[in-house]
Structure 1
Amino acid sequence: MVSRPTIYITKMTPQTELSHLLYGMEEEEIPGELKENQQLDLIAAAYEQALKSPLEVGIAVNEKQAVLHFKSLPEKEPLFVVDNNEESMMTLGKNAARLVKGIPFKLDV
């Protein structure tokens, strides 16, 4: 069975809520998949997921922030770092999908 390409997402803390992030991605019709990570640092975890993702985009989220990373960027320079709130998470999800699609980002991050 072949799995479809997805953006890889990791939760740094078990209680972290991802629904708004996933809604944003879903609106842009790009799927996300929850994955384990080996990193303790939020930016490093997002980069790890970007390296593993077939779409070359990774996201890491904790209770305070979320990081969107792209495989082609330097490890310590993520594309977006946002506060973990409903509006920012929705926009981050949209922008992750837009990165994959190659269309302009939403600027209200």
Structure 2
Amino acid sequence: MNRPTIYVTKMTPSIDIDYLLYGMEEEGIPSETRESTRKELISAAFEQAIKSPLGVGISVDEKKVVLHFKNLPEQEPLFVVTNEPESMMILGQNAARLVKCIPFKLDV
């Protein structure tokens, strides 16, 4: 059985995603970094959402971070934000809040 986690894909291995992970951890939801077979940022996030036991996937590249949910159309992610520490922290919190079904922080 898969552990209930949010799946995260780094499109470039050297990208620092600590603030993203801190946001999810702060809300009490675990995450796991995984490889993606997709080359495009939105598609990679959707792939992880489909595979995640929690139905939530995130992908990160040098400029953007995408949060996707398994019940949304593939090309319509929930959030797309810049790859900056504060934005990544809030996006991580919102990913966890999606799992917990509580209101989002809208400072993204």
What range is the shorter-chain TM-score in?
A: over 0.9
Give runs of aligned pairs for residues 1-109 of structure 1, distance below 5 A: 2-109=1-108
Q: Aligned with 2:66: secondary structure?
A: strand
The number of aligned residues is 108
Amino acid at match of 2:92: G
- What are the superposed Cα offsets for residues 15-72 of structure 1, whole Å, 9 maximum, x if unpaired? 1111000000001000110001001100000000000000000000011100000000
Aligned-pair identity (%): 69
C-alpha RMSD over aligned residues: 0.8
* Distance across 2 between alignment mates of 1:100 and 1:50: 11
- Which consecutive unaligned segments of at least 5 residues does structure 1 have? none
Compute the TM-score of the two structures, normalised by the length of structure 2. Answer: 0.98
Compute the TM-score of the two structures, normalised by the length of structure 1. Answer: 0.97
* Distance across 1 between alignment mates of 2:50 and 2:77: 13
* Stretches of 4+ aligned residues off by more than 3 angstroms: none
* Distance across 2 between alignment mates of 1:84 and 1:47: 18
Shift of 1:104: 0.1
